[in-house]
């Protein structure tokens, strides 16, 4: 893996929250912006990047559905996860006062998450394609009285002033990213480390197939943390699943659970095994 370019790809424009996540997780790598998620994944698949930082779910907006459609089409592996708290910042031109701001642009989701604060300040929202793009537009076409809602990194890159941090109405909004690589990396089992294993599979066409496929995890005491269903074909007849479980394939309980999964499911693919991100271990933020 070290012979690959020291690049981590992400979808979006410079200053996006995905870019911020790349900088925090891999400050030694060059972050490369891509137009689409597929473009970012292809950079890794073709050996033009070492990793891709791809959002999987958000605590407010839910899952990123497009990723579930893309993953079965790739041969990439999950080698880690990253949790990024979303800190929306109210940005404006240098020297601006918050009382001067009359309009603000950002992604509709960010605008919705800041609705109460915008309303309290009598600021009119303007929808944009993305948060960092709104900041870039403000920098390129400076207009007094106009602002943007984006990350602190966007303020740095586009030379804008942060008028207020944590501008969202509610705290705790967090995005979970998965870190993708071209080659698999099975970490050594350690008793002092909690592991996550991500699995994709399709159930067989039989009564109670999903119940039976997952039963092995219950009977063997393996904690299932996430189960997502999605249509993996255009026929609308076959449901596939993304499953996150706490455990390492080298553990005896996981071996037995995976044997039962293989019996009742098909197209079983272990996407990766990786240590829990520290965010999961915070005393007030245990995600189980």
User: How deeply is 116 buried, as exposed, middle or buried, from its count of CB atoms within 10 A (0-12, 13-18, 19+)?
Assistant: exposed
Q: Among the options 26, 51, 167, 175, which is catalytic?
A: 175
Closest CA to 183 of 60, 38, 75, 26: 75
Q: Is 177 a catalytic residue?
A: yes
Alpha-carbon span 134 to 33, nearest angstrom: 16
DSSP 127-143: E-S-HHHHHHHHHHS--
Closest CA to 268 of 209, 205, 200, 216: 200
Bridge partner residues of 226 (DSSP): 244
Alpha-carbon span 3 to 281, nearest angstrom: 32
In this structure, the number of other CB atoms found within 10 A of the CB of residue 137 comes to 17
Residue 125 has phi, psi (to 5 degrees) of -85, 145
Alpha-carbon span 201 to 239, nearest angstrom: 9
Q: Among the options 37, 177, 241, 264, which is catalytic?
A: 177
Alpha-carbon span 62 to 57, nearest angstrom: 5
Contact (CB, 8 A) for 16 and 132: yes
Residue 62 has phi, psi (to 5 degrees) of 85, -160
Q: Is 241 a catalytic residue?
A: no
Question: Catalytic residues, which ones?
Answer: 175, 177
């Amino acid at each position: 893996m070290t012979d690959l370019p020291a690049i981590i790809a992400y979808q979006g424009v410079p200053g996006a929250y995905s870019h911020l996540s790349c900088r925090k997780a891999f400050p030694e790598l060059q972050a490369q912006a891509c137009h689409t998620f597929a473009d970012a994944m292809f950079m890794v698949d073709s050996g033009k990047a070492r990793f891709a930082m791809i959002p999987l779910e958000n605590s407010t907006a839910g899952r990123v559905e497009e990723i579930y459609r893309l993953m079965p089409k790739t041969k990439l592996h999950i080698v880690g996860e990253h949790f990024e708290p979303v800190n929306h910042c109210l940005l404006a031109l240098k020297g601006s006062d918050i009382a001067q701001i009359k309009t603000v642009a950002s992604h509709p989701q960010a605008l919705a998450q800041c609705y109460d604060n915008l309303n309290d300040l009598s600021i009119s929202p303007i929808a944009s394609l993305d948060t960092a793009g709104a900041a870039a537009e403000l920098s390129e076409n400076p207009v007094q009285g106009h602002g943007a809602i984006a990350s602190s990194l966007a303020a740095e890159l586009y030379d804008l002033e942060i008028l207020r941090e944590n501008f969202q109405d509610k705290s705790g909004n967090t995005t979970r990213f998965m870190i993708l690589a071209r080659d698999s990396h099975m970490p050594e089992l350690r008793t002092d480390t909690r592991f996550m294993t991500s699995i994709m599979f399709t159930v067989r066409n039989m009564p109670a197939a999903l119940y039976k496929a997952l039963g092995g995890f219950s009977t063997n005491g393996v904690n299932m943390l996430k189960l997502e269903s999605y249509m993996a074909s255009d026929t609308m007849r076959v449901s596939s699943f993304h499953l996150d479980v706490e455990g390492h394939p080298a553990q005896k309980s996981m071996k037995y659970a995976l044997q039962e999964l293989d019996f009742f499911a098909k197209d079983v693919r272990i996407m990766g095994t990786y240590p829990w991100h520290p965010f999961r271990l915070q005393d007030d933020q245990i995600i189980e």
